[in-house]
């Protein structure tokens, strides 16, 4: 059965290096969509006032701040779900997994800096899943690098076709405006000092139009004509299929701070970014039009209040029309869960809403039953694939200050690994529990949470192992034989799956070479 009148969604994330302007751009997007208002503008309206306070009560009771995880705004009849990717220098699996829940991404680049390390890392994750990317070159109000150089850098470093959709007339002190190449519109800063930077728009007949000479300085007009012509001729033209396949990125220039070019970016998302697509699953991909309500958990957030053990599981809805109170069954484990108080982010001003559609995110309060990677479905039998656990890059041994706290430590490590903060490996021999993380910051988070939430005083010590791989084999006998032979380097993860630990990459390669029947995997998908 197909569902008609499904509201159209754009579910996306912003990827960028810290300081490129993600927060500023997010704010401006939300303002453009009317989702946030200047102080004093929000007026409580009868019915909504009650609904809104209900929602806040839930936030308070549970002590969970979910406010910034998913931000929803409407524009031009479409609903945009912006998923926040944690913006630390040192990123975690959380970031990766959030990108599994979006249909497209906006890549923000600082015009003075170009592609930076975190931009590239996040881009690589998008590429793995062919997530289409719109590029926003930010901070054109400041001196930046030559636009050609920036475009070439994107093309060379990310191996993407680039298509300039707009062109800046100068940057910094020389900035005069931005030319919209497809629509032949020149956008210019306001003359006055009202604070509205993007004040004027003038349609022209093309780059040859004489009016450009009146609107811009002589230098500016000349420069725009020379550069834009070269840009149009020198780069790919826009191709919707190329963009949606993740091979081409349309590039927009602007300034988040001055609110310049932000509206063009929203329009680009509206016009080009894909609405929810079919999601990879077993036994078959799930189309958003399927009537069966399905989704997967991509993030679990624990209570900020250590007195409570509640968690919020963030589920991306993949198909069907979700209604509040409906029962969903986690595939593979557990009984149906009645979702009575879902947190639905698309409702304006944080009302509790009653329904959600594919592409929307639903926050489901639970006591630790739901885990990252879980599939939830009205009619079970579906399992979404492709939400990997990544092999940790840093391994540490956990040493307890007080040995009587072993039980608490185990509980804490299990909980935190469920949440995706760390991975934990329990060696078959000995009691040296090993934690693994993708980035250094996760170790700091671990120690602080052990102390404050679990009252466990622990230290992290160097681990005898440096590399971890999940192992599997077609035949049980082969796997058993391998485990028997390498028992001192074997561990189980939180789910009891076997993991081989090696002292270094060389040893890992060596053992791998000698064990052709065993599959060593740097990622694990939950079953």
The binding site for ligand GDP (CB under 6 A) comprises 16, 18-24, 87, 138-139, 141-142, 255-257
State both tokens at 243. Answer: 């963009």
Taking the least distance from each CB to ligand GDP, the nearer of 169 and 424 is 169
Pairwise CA distance, residues 357 & 81, whole Å: 11
Taking the least distance from each CB to ligand GDP, the nearer of 24 and 463 is 24
Does residue 180 have a cis peptide bond before it, meaning omega lies within 30 degrees of 0?
Answer: no
Residue 88, annotated as binding a ligand: yes
Rounded least distance, CB 261 to ligand GDP, Å? 9
Residue in 173, 281, 279, 174 with CA at minimum distance from that of residue 218 = 174
Taking the least distance from each CB to ligand GDP, the nearer of 8 and 19 is 19
Residue 389, annotated as binding a ligand: no
Taking the least distance from each CB to ligand GDP, the nearer of 111 and 511 is 111
Tokens 């062109």 found at: 167
Q: Which CA distances in Å does 496 have to 50, 385, 412? A: 46, 20, 17
CB neighbours of 69 closer than 8 A, spacing ≥ 6? 83, 84, 299, 301, 314, 345, 361, 363
Residue 363, annotated as binding a ligand: no
Taking the least distance from each CB to ligand GDP, the nearer of 91 and 357 is 91
Rounded least distance, CB 85 to ligand GDP, Å? 10
Residue 110, annotated as binding a ligand: no
Rounded least distance, CB 143 to ligand GDP, Å? 10
Given a contact cutoff of 8 angstroms between Cβ atoms, the answer to whether 265 and 30 are in contact is no
Residue 338, annotated as binding a ligand: no
Residue 455, annotated as binding a ligand: no
State both tokens at 445. Answer: 């988070």
Taking the least distance from each CB to ligand GDP, the nearer of 141 and 176 is 141
Taking the least distance from each CB to ligand GDP, the nearer of 24 and 515 is 24
User: Which of helix, strand or coil describes residue 459?
Assistant: strand
CB environment 393-402: b (16+ within 10 A), e (fewer):
ebbbbbebee
Residue 21, annotated as binding a ligand: yes
Pairwise CA distance, residues 502 & 239, whole Å: 47
Rounded least distance, CB 255 to ligand GDP, Å? 4
Rounded least distance, CB 176 to ligand GDP, Å? 16
Residue 87, annotated as binding a ligand: yes
User: Which of helix, strand or coil describes residue 472?
Assistant: strand
Taking the least distance from each CB to ligand GDP, the nearer of 72 and 138 is 138
Q: Which CA distances in Å does 239 have to 248, 253, 438? A: 8, 19, 36
State both tokens at 494. Answer: 């939180």
Residue 452, annotated as binding a ligand: no
Rounded least distance, CB 171 to ligand GDP, Å? 10
Rounded least distance, CB 22 to ligand GDP, Å? 3
Rounded least distance, CB 27 to ligand GDP, Å? 8
Rg (CA), the chain: 25
Residue in 246, 330, 245, 321 with CA at minimum distance from that of residue 526 = 330
Pairwise CA distance, residues 411 & 407, whole Å: 6
Residue 141, annotated as binding a ligand: yes
Instruction: Give residue 34's region: left, alpha or beta (phi > 0; psi -120 to 50).
Output: left
Pairwise CA distance, residues 509 & 179, whole Å: 54
Residue 18, annotated as binding a ligand: yes
Rounded least distance, CB 141 to ligand GDP, Å? 5
Taking the least distance from each CB to ligand GDP, the nearer of 257 and 352 is 257
From the annotation, which residues make up the binding site for GTP? 16-23, 84-88, 138-141
What residues are designated binding site?
A: 16-23, 84-88, 138-141
């Amino acid at each position: 059965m197909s569902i008609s009148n499904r509201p159209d969604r754009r579910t996306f994330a912003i990827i960028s290096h810290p300081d490129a302007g993600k927060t500023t751009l997010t704010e401006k997007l939300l303002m453009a969509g009317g989702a946030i208002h200047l102080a004093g503008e929000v007026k409580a309206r009868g019915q909504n006032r009650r609904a809104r306070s209900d929602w806040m009560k839930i936030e308070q009771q549970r002590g969970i701040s979910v406010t910034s995880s998913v931000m929803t705004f409407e524009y031009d009849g479409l609903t945009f779900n912006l998923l926040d990717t944690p913006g630390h220098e040192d990123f975690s699996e959380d970031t990766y997994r959030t990108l599994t829940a979006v249909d497209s991404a906006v890549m923000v680049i600082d015009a003075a800096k170009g592609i930076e390390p975190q931009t590239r890392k996040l881009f690589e994750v998008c590429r793995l899943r062919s997530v289409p990317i719109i590029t926003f070159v930010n901070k054109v109000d400041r001196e930046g690098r030559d636009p050609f150089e920036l475009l070439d850098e994107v093309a060379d470093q990310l191996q993407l076709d680039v298509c300039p959709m707009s062109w800046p007339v100068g940057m910094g002190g020389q900035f005069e405006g931005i030319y919209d190449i497809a629509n032949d519109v020149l956008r210019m800063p306001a003359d006055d000092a009202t604070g509205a930077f993007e004040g004027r728009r003038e349609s022209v007949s093309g780059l040859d139009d004489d009016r450009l000479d009146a609107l811009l300085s002589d230098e500016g007009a000349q420069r725009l004509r020379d550069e834009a012509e070269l840009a149009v001729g020198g780069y790919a033209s826009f191709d919707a299929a190329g963009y949606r396949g993740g091979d081409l990125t349309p590039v927009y220039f602007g300034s988040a701070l001055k609110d310049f070019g932000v509206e063009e970016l929203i329009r680009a998302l509206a016009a080009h970014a894909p609405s929810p697509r079919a999601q990879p699953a077993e036994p078959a991909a799930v189309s958003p039009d399927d009537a069966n309500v399905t989704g997967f958990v991509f993030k679990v957030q624990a209570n900020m209040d250590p007195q409570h053990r509640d968690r919020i599981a963030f589920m991306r809805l993949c198909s069907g029309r979700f209604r509040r109170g409906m029962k969903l069954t986690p595939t593979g484990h557990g009984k149906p869960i009645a979702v009575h108080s879902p947190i639905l982010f698309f409702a304006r001003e944080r009302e509790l809403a009653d329904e959600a559609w594919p592409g929307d995110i639903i926050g489901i309060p639970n006591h630790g039953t739901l885990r990252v990677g879980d599939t939830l479905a009205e009619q079970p039998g579906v399992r979404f694939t492709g939400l990997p656990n990544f092999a940790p890059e840093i391994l540490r041994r956990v040493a307890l200050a007080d040995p009587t706290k072993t039980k608490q430590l185990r509980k804490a490590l299990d909980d935190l690994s469920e949440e995706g903060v760390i991975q934990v490996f329990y060696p078959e021999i000995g009691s040296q529990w090993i934690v693994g993380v993708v980035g250094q910051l996760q170790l700091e988070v671990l120690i602080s949470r052990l102390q404050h939430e679990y009252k466990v005083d622990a230290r992290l010590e160097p681990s005898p192992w440096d590399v971890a791989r999940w192992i599997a084999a077609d035949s049980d006998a082969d796997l058993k034989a391998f485990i028997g032979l390498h028992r001192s380097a074997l561990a189980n993860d939180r789910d009891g799956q076997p993991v081989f630990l090696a002292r270094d990459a060389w040893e890992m390669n060596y053992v791998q070479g000698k064990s052709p029947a065993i599959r060593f995997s740097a990622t694990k998908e939950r079953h």
